[in-house]
């Protein structure tokens, strides 16, 4: 970049002040949040991300320096095109896990087998252990107790997708996620490690409202 096109020191300083102000607004929004999907928190998050990105670019252009900020790449959600007053909706959930401690996972499944069937060691390997544990516990319980089972969390997402009418019984069981139209998603909540910096666990939800 030529000297003529470089931002001035005053412009870089102004961008830094904008980041400070955006941090204050974000903290105030979090402190006054009204729920997990509070639009004020979401808006403050986006403002902070934009301010940090602007400062990072100007700092690099002027001084050839970078910041430690890593702003998650954002994609505009597909505009909602479903019914205005939905009478039918689906909740689509995906949660990724790593089997960090296979022996712990197997041991927990063995305890379930002993309690239910009086058959020590009946679970075998991790594949069988997963079948035993998910047969015993609801997925939401495993999501809250994953460390007890030797698991580590990955990304997760939850979509609330509307439809015109309830599908026929058994219609989609063979391919439950194949017909999820992004344009039918009324609300979406994402949790990922890319949102971790500067956020508490409760603040990771990213509602994508229409």
pLDDT, tens digit (0-9, with 9 covering 90-100), for 15-65 = 999 999 999 999 999 999 887 777 788 788 888 888 998 999 999 999 999
Query: What is the extent of the structural domain holding 115?
Result: 102-148
The per-residue DSSP string of 169-202 comes to TTSSTTSTTTT--GGGEEEEEEE-GGG-TT--GG
Q: Which of 132, 148, 164 is the last residue of a domain?
A: 148
* CA 70 to chain CA centroid, nearest Å: 16
Q: Are residues 159 and 210 in the same domain?
A: yes
Q: Are residues 36 and 121 in the same domain?
A: no
Q: Are residues 109 and 126 in the same domain?
A: yes
Q: Are residues 58 and 21 in the same domain?
A: yes
Q: Are residues 161 and 207 in the same domain?
A: yes
Q: Tell me whether residue 71 is in a domain.
A: no
Q: Are residues 113 and 195 in the same domain?
A: no
- For the chain, the 3-state helix, strand and coil shares in percent, each to the nearest 5, are 45, 15, 40
Task: Give pLDDT, residue 206.
Answer: 47
Q: Are residues 142 and 210 in the same domain?
A: no
Q: Which residues of the chain have pLDDT under 50?
A: 1-3, 74, 122, 198-210
Question: How many Cβ atoms are within 10 Å of 177's Cβ, its own excluded?
Answer: 11
Q: Tell me whether residue 51 is in a domain.
A: yes
- The Cα 28–Cα 107 span in angstroms is 45
Predicted structure pTM score: 0.55
Q: Are residues 122 and 204 in the same domain?
A: no
Q: Are residues 29 and 110 in the same domain?
A: no
Q: Are residues 133 and 154 in the same domain?
A: no
Q: How many domains does the chain have?
A: 3
Q: Tell me whether residue 86 is in a domain.
A: yes
Q: What ranges make up the beta strands (E) of the chain? A: 88-99, 151-163, 185-191
Task: Give pLDDT, residue 120.
Answer: 52
Q: Tell me whether residue 138 is in a domain.
A: yes
Q: Are residues 202 and 156 in the same domain?
A: yes
Task: Give pLDDT, residue 187.
Answer: 87
Q: Tell me whether residue 68 is in a domain.
A: no
Angle 204-208-210 from CA coordinates, rounded to 5°: 165
- The Cα 4–Cα 97 span in angstroms is 51
Q: Tell me whether residue 69 is in a domain.
A: no
Q: Tell me whether residue 163 is in a domain.
A: yes
From the CA atom positions of the chain, what is the Rg in Å? Answer: 23
Q: Are residues 34 and 126 in the same domain?
A: no
Q: Tell me whether residue 73 is in a domain.
A: no
């Amino acid at each position: 970049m030529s000297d003529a096109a470089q931002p001035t020191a005053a412009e870089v300083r102004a961008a830094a002040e904008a980041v400070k102000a955006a941090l204050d607004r974000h903290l105030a929004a979090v402190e006054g949040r009204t729920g997990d999907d509070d639009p004020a928190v979401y808006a403050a998050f986006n403002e902070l991300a934009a301010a940090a990105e602007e400062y990072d670019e100007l700092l690099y252009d002027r001084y050839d320096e970078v910041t430690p900020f890593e702003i998650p790449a954002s994609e505009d959600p597909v505009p909602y095109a479903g019914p205005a007053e939905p009478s039918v909706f689906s909740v689509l959930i995906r949660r990724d896990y790593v089997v960090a401690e296979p022996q712990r996972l197997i041991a927990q499944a063995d305890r379930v087998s002993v309690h239910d069937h009086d058959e020590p060691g009946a679970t075998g390997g991790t594949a069988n252990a997963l079948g035993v544990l998910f047969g015993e516990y609801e997925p939401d319980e495993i999501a809250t107790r994953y460390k007890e089972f030797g698991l580590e969390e990955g990304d997760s997402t939850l979509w609330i997708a509307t439809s015109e009418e309830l599908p026929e019984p058994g219609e989609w069981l063979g391919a439950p996620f194949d017909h999820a139209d992004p344009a039918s998603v009324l609300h979406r909540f994402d949790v990922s490690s890319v949102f971790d910096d500067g956020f508490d666990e409760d603040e990771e939800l990213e509602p994508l409202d229409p």
